[in-house]
Each structure stands twice: as C-alpha cells, then as structure tokens.
Amino acid sequence: MVDSWCTPLPDAKGQKKLLSLASKAMKEKNVLVQGVRAVTKSLVKDKDGLVIIASDVTPLDCIVHLPALCEDKKIKYAFVSSSSDISAAIGTKRNIICVFVP
C-alpha cells in the first residue's frame, strides 16, 4: 500500500531506472549506503547523492524525517512502491527501507 504523502513517486519505468542505479552502485565496493540509520548519518555529513525510500513502510515514523532532511540538505530523493523491490535490486534477502547512492 502506497501512502498519499509519498511524493515524488515515479511511474514503473522511473522506478525501474532508480532500482537499476541502486543495483549498479551495489556492485561497486563501499558505495551504497543502506538502512535508515546509515542513510541519516550520510545526510547529516552533507554527502551528495540520491536517496531511494520505500513507500510501504509501517510505521511511518521510521522514514518521516528523511524527505525533510533531504530537502534541507538539497539532496534529491524519490520513493519506490515496495521495500522488497529495493532489496531485490541490491541483492539482499532482507527488506531494505531506504538506500543512499552517492
């Protein structure tokens, strides 16, 4: 289920491009940052990149701060429809809520 506040939510083609970008970043060593805590840490350190956030997260309190933090730091972010899509793209069995691609 996708919440109404999860914008920008690209169409299926745009989501596929975002996930392929995350997949390419995962193949390079020490490039992709995954998980809410690690992504927040990277944003606070003013690293430049792209944040990909899953929109089917419950409770929403886990990710509510990320879009505001990205806007404050002028970092691009986008939502994808499912956390399982992110985990499949980066090749992990565990559902990943968000990733940061520098």
The confidence score (pLDDT) of residue 70 equals 92
**Dihedral angle over CA of 94, 98, 101, 102, nearest 10:** -120
- Alpha carbon distance 35, 12 (integer Å): 23
User: Facing residues of 34 across strands?
Assistant: 99
The confidence score (pLDDT) of residue 75 equals 92
The confidence score (pLDDT) of residue 58 equals 83
- pTM (2 d.p.): 0.88
**Tens of pLDDT, residue by residue, the chain (102 residues):** 555 666 677 788 888 888 888 888 888 876 889 999 999 999 999 888 999 999 888 888 888 899 999 999 999 999 988 889 999 998 889 989 999 998
